[in-house]
Amino acid sequence: MEFSRNEIIDILRDDSQNDWLFSLADETRKKYVGDEVHLRGLIEFSNICRCQCKYCGLQSTNKSVERYRISPDDIVLYAKKAVEMGYKTIVLQSGEDEYFSKDIMCDIIKRIKESDAALTLSIGERSFDDYKAFKCAGADRYLIRIETTDRNLYKQMHTNMDFDNRVRCLKDLKKLGFETGTGCLVGLPNQTVESLADDILFFKEIDADMVGIGPFIAHPQTPLKDAKNGTFTLALKVMALTRILLKNINIPATTAMETLNPNGRIIALQSGANVVMPNVTTSQYRKKYEIYPNKICINEEPEHCRGCIEGKIKAIGRTISKDYGFRVL
Ligand code: SAH
């Protein structure tokens, strides 16, 4: 099914057709990517960040976060343990922490790639050269959300960043042959449904291989502390439309969805999503990687999370994939 920009806007505005929308997204998911759910083991390895994204609890101006950085040896150890637990993809995510230079990252990538797993990076904006080195070292995928395609809103949210550079990153990653993931926040202050429609069309235009969508959740130690949270339903609708328009891509049921709805990830899996990214670090780090408040599972350990999500996925009649979960063509 194809929708025009105007149709997308109408669907986003009108909640009376939501059941139809979510069913259509679920059917599209089944037809193009099947019933398998891909689990990606997420390692949040540093909460040190030079950026000042207004919504994010890890922004450099927030002095009340206790900062941490997991050592390269321990990152590799967490990754190896996750592979032993059955994960076929490892995702390394962090703030924009300059300690992790090109060489240090390449060393970590090579060591993790000795294990039998695909590797995704989510470490922010880098030069073409850095991305190229990460690819040569063996990284398979890269996630970098555009956050919003509304240039004015982007500027308001990221006073020290440049929208065009973020687009440049996505284009470089595609050019280098990474499976490239992007996505947006839903419910940012001053965000319009028109701009959300443009976000979805942008994902299609750049041919994103993965798209992560989550509601904005106000963090008490950020300039947006008094802003209203995004809603679960609108985030789910943007995700469902993304599935319907982009068809065969990978779409995670994001953790932020579950923060706003206790069954959020399962509902997302039944409305277009086919990926879940359980945390594989131990609880001591989880609470410190507070991009938004009330993150789920911050007191859990990796073994528990794996079992918990597997049970929920099987209970809705879906299976856990045993392969790497690249985009199906
Ligand atoms: N430094 C990396 C990883 C960022 S954290 C990068 O720049 O790509 C991953 C995602 O968390 C961000 O892309 C953003 O969309 C989301 N996020 C940050 N703050 C949030 C908040 N307050 N509510 C919901 N999601 C948030």
pLDDT averaged over the chain?
Answer: 97
- Give, using CA atoms, the residue closest to atom 18 of ligand 1: 56
Give me the helices (H) in 193-262, please.
193-205, 232-246, 255-260
- Give, using CA atoms, the residue closest to atom 6 of ligand 1: 124
Q: Which amino acid is at 90?
A: I
Query: How far, in Å, from the CA of 186 to the mean position of ligand 1?
Result: 12
Say if 309 falls within a structural domain: yes
**Considering only CA atoms, which of 155, 137, 150, 257 is closest in space to residue 199?**
150
Q: Does the pLDDT of residue 252 top 90, yes or no? A: yes
Say if 59 falls within a structural domain: yes
pLDDT in tens, 155-183: 999 999 999 999 999 999 999 999 999 99
Say if 190 falls within a structural domain: no
Q: Does the pLDDT of residue 5 top 90, yes or no? A: yes
CA–CA dist 204, 136 (Å, integer): 27
Say if 191 falls within a structural domain: no
pTM: 0.98
Query: How far, in Å, from the CA of 266 to the mean position of ligand 1?
Result: 21
Asked if residue 256 has its Cβ within 6 Å of ligand 1, the reply is yes
Say if 72 falls within a structural domain: yes
Say if 15 falls within a structural domain: no
Reduced to 3 states (helix: H, G, I; strand: E, B; else coil), residue 41 is strand
3-state helix, strand, coil in the chain (%, to 5): 45, 15, 45
Asked if residue 147 has its Cβ within 6 Å of ligand 1, the reply is yes
Domain count, the chain: 1
What pLDDT score was predicted for residue 1? 80
Which ligand 1 atom is at minimum distance from the Cα of 222? 22
**Considering only CA atoms, which of 44, 55, 109 is closest in space to residue 280?**
44
The terminus-to-terminus CA distance of the chain in angstroms comes to: 18
State the helix-helix crossing angle for 102-112 and 72-85, rounded to 10 degrees. 30
Residue 164: which domain range? 35-182+219-224+251-320
CA–CA dist 172, 209 (Å, integer): 14
We report the CATH number of the domain holding residue 42 as 3.20.20.70
Whether 118 and 88 have beta carbons less than 8 Å apart is answered as yes
Query: How far, in Å, from the CA of 56 to the mean position of ligand 1?
Result: 6
- Angle (CA) 3-10-1 rounded to 5° is 20
Which ligand 1 atom is at minimum distance from the Cα of 256? 24
Using most ligand atoms within 8 A of CB, pick from 43, 45, 52, 55 the residue to mutate for ligand 1.
Answer: 55
